[in-house]
Structure 1
Amino acid sequence: MRRSSPSAARTLAVAAALGLAVTGCTHDGGAGSDPAPSQPFATEGTATVAPPVVLPDSPAGRQAQWVLDQLAADTGPSPAQAEEHFADVFLGEVPAEDIPAVFDQLRPAGPWRPVDVDEAGADAVVRLHDGSGEPWRMVISVDDDGAISALFFQPDTGATTAPAESWAEVHERLTGLDADVSLLAARVGDDDTCEPIAEIDSAQPRPMASIFKLYVLGAVAQAVHTGQARWDDQLTITPDTRSLPSGELQNEPDGAQVSVAQAAAGMIAISDNTASDLLTELVGRDAVETAMAQMGHADPARNVPFLTTRDFFTIGWGPDDLRDDWQAAGPDERRDLLGAMPDGALTVSARDVDDPAWTFGVDWFGSARDICAVLASLHDGEGPDADPADAQMLRTILGHNRGVTIDESAWPYVAYKGGSAPGVVTGSWYGEREDGERFVYVMQAAAPDEAALADHAAFFSLAEDAFRLLSEE
C-alpha cells in the first residue's frame, strides 16, 4: 500500500481534503455502540441481530475511532494527546500545537457518523455522513508503531457526482476505467433466472474477490438444511483458522468461540475473513465447490480446489513465492500445494498484500451472470423443502448491508456483497422493489496495476445510479 508524503499530509489535513482509496471489502450499516468483540453478531432464536457499523479493531481502525471520538468531544485533542497519537512524520509537517485547530475546523460540521469502512493493512478509508447527512471520506494511515502518519477528510465526490441518467451513461463510465470490466443489471424471474436489462461482457469470468463468500454461505445453508450443522453450533478460533483482515475475529484469542450464525453474519456484513475460513472448515472445501455448481456457476471447476482466505494470502504474498507454482499447476497439483501449507500462524502480514495476484490465478473467479445466479439462489426460500426459519436467517444475514445509499421507500430490501484486493474491485446487489419486482446488479473490475482502481467511490456510485434506473424499469 502506497503511503502519502508528509507534505501532502500537511496540506490535505489542514484543508480537510484528500484523494486516496485502499483495497478491502466495503460494508455499510447504521450508527450505534460496539458489540462485544467475541460476538460481533448476536442471535435471537433464528434471526440474526445486525450490529451497527464497527470500525476494525486494528491499528488503523482504532486510530480512526479515536479521531471520531475527538470530533464528538467539545474540544481536543490537546497537543499532548496529538503527540501520543500522531507519528513524527506527521508532526514534522503539522506541529502538535496546530492539530487542535484542524479538529476545530471539522467539529462544527458534525456529528460525524461512520457508514462504511474500507481497510487494507495500515490504511483505511471511512465513509462518513456529517451532521446534515452529506457524504465525506476520512483516510487514515498508521506507521509500524500504530501512530497516525496520514489523516485527511474530503467530501465524497463519488457520491455527489452528477448521476448517470441512462444505462448508456453507466456503460460509458464503467468502461472508462482503466480496467477489464463487466456489468449486469437483470430482472430476477419467477423461476429465479436472471433476465438481462443492461450488460457488459457479463458471461466472462473475472476475479470476484470477497463475493466468493456467497458460495460459502450457500454451503453452510445447505449443511444446516441437511442437519449436518446448526446455526447455533459453536466454532473455535485457532492459529490454524485465524486469517488477515478484513473483519474482527482475527483479533480474538485462541479458543474464543463464535456461533455459525454469528460467523456467517460477520462474513457477509463486514467481510470477515476469519469467519469465512471457520465456516469453510466446518463444511469442507468440497461442499463449497459443490455449492458453486448447484448455485448456477457456469464453470465451477475454475475454482477447484477452493481457496480459503489464508490460502489466498499465503499463495499470493507469502514468503515462499508460490504464485508461479499455482498458475502452472492443475487441480491435483494445486491440492498438493494446499496440503503442504504450514499450520499455525500465517507467515504473511497485511503489509505484504500490496500488488495484484489475480493475474496468476490467485483469486476466486466467476462472471457477473454467475454472481446473479448465486444471489437469486440464496433468496429462493419458497421451494417445497424450504425451511422458512432458515430462509429468514439468510435474508437477515444478507440484508444487513446495503453497500451504498439506495432509497429505502423504493427498495425496502437490498442485499449487498462486494470486495476488493490489489487490482480488483467488485460489487453485487440483490434488491426487492416496493412493487415486489426483484433485480440484481453486478459490477466487476480488474487491472494488473492496483493504482488503476484507486477511486472506489466513483465505482460504487454507479450502483446508486443503477438502482435509480431500476426504479423506473
Structure 2
Amino acid sequence: MAVFPSPSRAAPSPAYQARAVQLLRILSAPGGEEAYFSTLFLDAVPVDRWRAIAADLRAQHGEPLSLGAVRTDSATAGQVEIRYERATVGFTLVVAPQTPHLVVGLHIVGARTANDSLDKVMADVAALPGATAVAIAQLTDSGPQWLHVHRADVQMATGSSFKLYILAELARAAAARERRWSDVIPLGPKSFSGRLMNWPDRAPMTLHSLATAMIAESDNSASDTLLRALGRDRVDAMLATTGHSDAAKALPILSTAEAFALKMPVNADLRHRYATGSLADRRGLLHDAARRLTADKVDVGSVAEIPTAIDSIEWFASSRDMIGLLDWLRLHGGDALPILAVNPGIAPADAKRWRYLGYKGGSEPGVMAMNMLGQAPNGAWYAVSGGWNNPTARVDEGKFVALMTRAMNLAAADGR
C-alpha cells in the first residue's frame, strides 16, 4: 500500500494574509474594489459584475462573518475560506508578487452548508428523482467500516466507473510481473469521445499513458485498447477478486464501442438478445456480432441525448462493490494510485483537504456515478461511492457533484 506524505501547510506570507483578511470586507459590501483587485482582474470581471457576484453569495448564504482557513500553495497562490451565516465558501486567491500585491485571481470553488452532516447529505441524495445509492466507509485493516449507506447493495448503472476494473487488472498484472507499466502497445481499437480518438492509428503508447488517459480523462479509446490488450477474461475476473456481489449481472465487461453500439436503435435485435441472454449467450453475441459493434458503426447522436437502455446495456455495480474495488486498489494498486489522483473529481480547494484523493466517475444521459478514495491528514482512509440513475430524464450532474463534495468534506473533517 502506498504511503503519502502529509500535505504542506506553509504559513501564508504577510501580504497574502492581508489580502485574505480584506476579502471579507470586499464580499460584505460594495466599495474599494479598485484598491483590492488588479486591472487585469477588473478587465475580466468589471466592478458591477463583481458586486453582483458578491450580492448573490450574500443572498444564498447570508452575511459573511469571518475569515476561515487560509492555505497557500506558494507565496502568491492558495485557498481561502469565508464563513457566511449559513455556509462556508471556498475561494482560490492569487495575488501579484509585486507591491502592493493586488489580487489577480479569485474563483469560487465550493460551499459547505453550515451545520451540515452526513445524515443531511444522505437525505438530499435520497430525495433526487429516479434511483440513487451511496456508501461512505472508513477503510481499515479489517475491511471497510460502513459509516453511512443508502441503497448501497443495489446494482446501479455506473457509466465509465467500470474503467477502474481495467486499472485494477493492469495493477495486478504489473505486480505479478506479467506486464510493465512502461510496456508499449499500439493504440486501438479506437472509440468515440476523447483525445486519443484523433491520434494516428496504432500510435505506440505505454500502458501507463493509456491508463492515465483512461482514468484522468475517461478516454474511451484508451479504455478499449487496454481492455483488448489485457484480455476481457482477465478484466472480468477482477470483479470476483474485488468482491463484486452480482457479477452475473455485470459480465461480460463491455467495451465502450460495444455498449453504445448495442444501445443504438438499429441494433434493437442485438440489444434484446443481449439483455435476455445468459452469460454464455452474451459472450457469444459479442463474438458473433463483432462487426456490428465497432465504434465506426456508432451514431453518437442517437444515444447522446436521452437515457438509453441504462437498465440493461451498461456497467453495473453497487456502491459497496465500488468501495470494495477502491479498497483493493488502495492495498494493491501500486502505481495505479498516482494515476487515480491526477483528476480528483471535485474542486481543487476541496481536494486539498486530503493527503491523497483519487477519483473515477462516469456519466451519460440518465447516469451519474462518483467514486472517491481519500487519505485524511491523520492518515485514515475513506471511500465514498454514489450513483444516480434516471431512465426517463437526464440527471443534474452539477447537483450530484455538489452532494458528493459535501460527503467528502464531511469525511475529511472526521479525519483531521
Is the TM-score greater than 0.5?
yes
Partner residue of 1:342 out of 291, 308, 312: 291
Contact 1:414 1:431 in 2 (8 A): yes
Distance (whole Å) between structure 2 residues aligned to residue 412 and residue 261 of structure 1:
23
Equivalent position of 2:412 in the other structure: 471
In the TM superposition, what is the alpha-carbon distance from 1:394 to its structure 2 partner? 1.3
Distance (whole Å) between structure 2 residues aligned to residue 212 and residue 334 of structure 1:
18
Distance (whole Å) between structure 1 residues aligned to residue 205 and residue 168 of structure 2:
19
Equivalent position of 1:147 in the other structure: none
Q: 1:164 to 1:447 in 2, by over 3 A?
A: farther
Contact 1:424 1:447 in 2 (8 A): yes
1:459 aligns with 2:400: yes
Aligned-CA RMSD value:
2.5
In the TM superposition, what is the alpha-carbon distance from 1:449 to its structure 2 partner? 1.6
Distance (whole Å) between structure 2 residues aligned to residue 396 and residue 133 of structure 1:
26
Equivalent position of 1:196 in the other structure: 146
Amino acid at match of 1:314: A
In the TM superposition, what is the alpha-carbon distance from 1:280 to its structure 2 partner? 0.6
Equivalent position of 1:404 in the other structure: 346
Contact 2:156 2:318 in 1 (8 A): yes
Contact 1:399 1:416 in 2 (8 A): yes
1:243 aligns with 2:191: yes
Distance (whole Å) between structure 2 residues aligned to residue 279 and residue 417 of structure 1:
16
After superposition, give the CA deviation of every residue in 1:48-97 in whole Å (9 maximum; x if it has no partner).
Answer: xxxxxxxxxxxxxxxxxxxxxxxxxx9xxxxxxxxxxxxxxxxxxxxxxx
1:435 aligns with 2:369: no
Equivalent position of 2:276 in the other structure: 328
Q: 1:429 to 1:261 in 2, by over 3 A?
A: same
Scaled by the length of structure 2, what TM-score is found?
0.71
Q: 1:359 to 1:270 in 2, by over 3 A?
A: closer
Q: 1:409 to 1:289 in 2, by over 3 A?
A: closer
In the TM superposition, what is the alpha-carbon distance from 1:300 to its structure 2 partner? 1.8
Distance (whole Å) between structure 2 residues aligned to residue 164 and residue 211 of structure 1:
31
Partner residue of 2:328 out of 377, 396, 401: 377
Distance (whole Å) between structure 2 residues aligned to residue 107 and residue 345 of structure 1:
46
In the TM superposition, what is the alpha-carbon distance from 1:237 to its structure 2 partner? 2.5
Equivalent position of 1:394 in the other structure: 336
In the TM superposition, what is the alpha-carbon distance from 1:357 to its structure 2 partner? 2.9
In the TM superposition, what is the alpha-carbon distance from 1:195 to its structure 2 partner? 0.9
Secondary structure at 1:472 match in 2? helix
Q: 1:253 to 1:319 in 2, by over 3 A?
A: farther
Equivalent position of 2:236 in the other structure: 289
Equivalent position of 1:261 in the other structure: 208
Q: 1:450 to 1:161 in 2, by over 3 A?
A: farther
Distance (whole Å) between structure 1 residues aligned to residue 258 and residue 316 of structure 2:
15
Equivalent position of 1:144 in the other structure: none
* Structure showing greater Rg: 2
Q: Percent identity?
A: 28
After superposition, give the CA deviation of every residue in 1:177-215 in whole Å (9 maximum; x if it has no partner).
Answer: 101001111100113x11111110111111111111110
1:132 aligns with 2:106: yes
Equivalent position of 1:176 in the other structure: 127
Distance (whole Å) between structure 2 residues aligned to residue 437 and residue 258 of structure 1:
35
After superposition, give the CA deviation of every residue in 1:107-138 in whole Å (9 maximum; x if it has no partner).
Answer: 8889xxxxxxxxxxxxxxxxx98931125xxx
Secondary structure at 1:215 match in 2? helix
Distance (whole Å) between structure 1 residues aligned to residue 325 and residue 358 of structure 2:
12
Amino acid at match of 1:466: A
Partner residue of 2:157 out of 207, 212, 216: 207
* Relative contact order, higher structure (CA 8 A, sep 6+): 1
Secondary structure at 1:297 match in 2? coil
Distance (whole Å) between structure 2 residues aligned to residue 424 and residue 164 of structure 1:
30
Amino acid at match of 2:119: A
Secondary structure at 2:181 match in 1? coil
Secondary structure at 1:430 match in 2? strand
Runs of 4+ in structure 1 over 6 Å off: 107-110
Contact 1:296 1:373 in 2 (8 A): yes
Distance (whole Å) between structure 2 residues aligned to residue 265 and residue 107 of structure 1:
39
Equivalent position of 1:60 in the other structure: none
Scaled by the length of structure 1, what TM-score is found?
0.63
Equivalent position of 1:68 in the other structure: none
Q: 1:360 to 1:190 in 2, by over 3 A?
A: closer
Secondary structure at 1:134 match in 2? strand
Distance (whole Å) between structure 1 residues aligned to residue 263 and residue 245 of structure 2:
25
Distance (whole Å) between structure 2 residues aligned to residue 107 and residue 349 of structure 1:
43
Distance (whole Å) between structure 2 residues aligned to residue 263 and residue 226 of structure 1:
19
The number of aligned residues is 317
Partner residue of 2:118 out of 167, 181, 184: 167
Equivalent position of 1:226 in the other structure: 176
In the TM superposition, what is the alpha-carbon distance from 1:350 to its structure 2 partner? 2.4
Segments of 5+ residues of structure 2 without an aligned counterpart are: 1-39, 51-90, 93-103
Which protein has the bigger helix share?
2
